[in-house]
Amino acid sequence: MAKISFEKVPHKSPTPADKRTALMADPGFGRVFSDHMVTVQWTQGVGWHDAKVRAREPFQMDPAAAVLHYAQEIFEGMKAYRKPGGGFGLFRPDENARRFNESAKRMAMPDVPEEMFLEAIDQLVKVDADWVPSGEGSYYLRPFMFASEAFLGVRPANEYIFCVIGCPVGAYFKGGFKTVQVWVSEEYTRAAPGGTGAAKCGGNYASSLVATKEAFDNGCDQVVFLDAVERKWIDELGGMNIFFVMDDRSIITPPLNTILPGITRESVMKLASDAGYKVAETPYSFDQWQADARSGKLREAFACGTAAVIAGIGKVKYRGGEFAIGNSGDGEATTKLRAQLTGIQRGTVDDTYGWMRSV
Ligand code: PLP
Ligand code: COI
């Protein structure tokens, strides 16, 4: 495909600087949005067209748009950081582009050329540069694609919209970087073999919400899903992968198949292995988790993902009770890996892995 060029349509009334500063003072996660968005359309027989960097505004959609009925939709999440010497750094966006296309394949949607995906992201960061926080915050980018064709028959749509929006964000969890409490869902599962667990599609999250509500109702921050076949093995959290740190410096994480292949997960595996931990992708049962936490063999557990970064897990609750992990605070490995990962992302630790893309 020929390189797509983006038409730039500047915002007619961007947010005034004083209002922007106020909004960015405590943005939370996913509540405050920057001024622009990028959109590109796809039509069967034509391909990608009408690429625009434009004011962020509501879509006009036909009530029969296929996404509203059959949820043909995928998304990604990545962050841009202000670099100490100026400019911006994006963490492994090529991996997001690759995973986006894996999701697209699973959802019978068109391939998004990696170059177009990355260019869209660069363009949004540049046009909304003032919205990228300094200090602890970051700019979260949300690329997504949905079936826009008005058609109620059940088949892959013939029209799609690819869009990128962005928001300044702080910590994902309300308590900042305190350890979190998780709820193990024994009733609801997230993904079965052959299903869409490895794709980042909206439907996975829709079906997770009842379990997330159960977690919130039980005073927890996130839900932990077990496998759908035996209801025995730990899969992942509602929006994060999970790691377990043992007393012999081994670290384990559930294997891929029905879980999202997290980019943070893969990065943490590399960092931990290079720091001398024995890292393995191994099935780990909920029973074993309880036994190891109670015996002290399990020292730490943490959740990781783009939004959450690395969050220590202090307590685990389930219908039959609860148990603590370690002393319920962040453990040594969690703290060390988080410092190294965020250091690379923020440009204060050498990027020896070549993970950062400069904008
Ligand atoms: N698992 C789920 C279900 C997620 O939504 C996410 C977040 O994107 C992750 C894992 C972590 O993936 P990543 O590290 O690529 O953000
Ligand atoms: C991300 O980390 O990018 C996600 O999509 C997960 C969600 C909790 C926001």
The string of pLDDT tens digits covering residues 168-212 is 999 898 776 689 999 999 999 999 999 999 999 999 999 999 999
Could you report the predicted ipTM of this complex, rounded to two decimals? 0.98
Of 104, 137, 169, the one marking the end of a domain is 169
| 136 and 191 belong to one structural domain | no
Q: Which of 150, 169, 188 is the last residue of a domain?
A: 169
Smallest CA-to-CA distance from 55 within 9, 101, 2, 89 is with 9
| Residues 219 and 317: beta-carbon distance below 8 Å | yes
Distance from Cα 126 to the centre of ligand 1, integer Å: 25
pLDDT of residue 337: 97
53 lines ligand 2 (CB under 6 A): no
Distance 7 CA to ligand 1 centre (A): 31
Cα 353 versus chain centre, distance: 21
pLDDT score, position 1: 64
SS3 at position 97: helix
Residue 2 belongs to a domain: no
* Of 119, 146, 169, the domain-final residue: 169
Could you tell me if the CB of 239 is within 6 A of ligand 2? yes
Q: Across the strands, what pairs with 316?
A: 182, 323
Q: What is the CATH number of the domain that holds 110?
A: 3.30.470.10
In ligand 1, the atom with minimum distance to the C-alpha of 263 is 15
204 DSSP assignment: H
Please report whether residue 355 resides in a domain. no
Alpha-carbon gap, residue 103 to 75, rounded angstroms: 8
CA-closest residue to ligand 1 atom 12: 262
Examine the domain organization and report whether 38 and 150 are in the same domain.
yes
Pairing assessment for the beta strands 138-147 and 222-226 based on DSSP bridges: unpaired
Answer whether 234 contacts ligand 1 (Cβ < 6 A): no
For residue 77 and ligand 1, the question of a CB distance below 6 A is answered with: yes
Using a cut of 0.80, tell me whether the model's pTM lies above it: yes
| Residue 150 phi, psi dihedral angles, 5° rounding | -85, 105
The residues with which 350 forms a beta bridge, in sequence order, are none
User: Is 228 in the same domain as 103?
Assistant: no
Structure tokens at 47: 């391909």
Q: Are residues 221 and 80 in the same domain?
A: no
Kindly state if the Cβ of 197 falls inside 6 Å of ligand 1.
no
Asked if 227 and 87 sit in the same domain, the reply is no
Per-residue pLDDT tens over the stretch 268-299: 999 999 999 999 999 999 999 999 999 999 99
How many CB atoms lie under 10 A from the CB of residue 315? 18
Domain containing residue 36: 7-169
269: in domain: yes
> Residue 87: what residue type?
G
56-68 core/surface letters (b: 16 or more CB in 10 A; e: else): beeeeeeeebbbb
Identify the pLDDT of residue 177. 64
CB-side neighbour CA atoms (13 Å) of 276: 4
Say yes or no: CB of residue 77 within 6 Å of ligand 2. yes
Query: For a pocket test of ligand 1, which of 90, 263, 264 has the largest count of ligand atoms closer than 8 A to its C-beta?
Result: 264
* DSSP tag of 35: S
Average pLDDT along the chain, 359 residues, taken 10 residues at a time: 87 95 95 98 98 97 98 98 96 98 98 98 97 95 98 97 97 82 97 97 98 98 97 98 97 97 98 98 98 97 97 97 92 96 97 97
Tokens, residue 346: 């923020």
**Are 53 and 195 found together in one domain?**
no
Atom 4 of ligand 1 has which residue's CA nearest to it?
239
Amino acid at 319: R
Is 162 within the bounds of a domain?
yes
93 located within any domain: yes
pLDDT of residue 339: 97
Look at the chain and report how many structural domains it folds into.
2
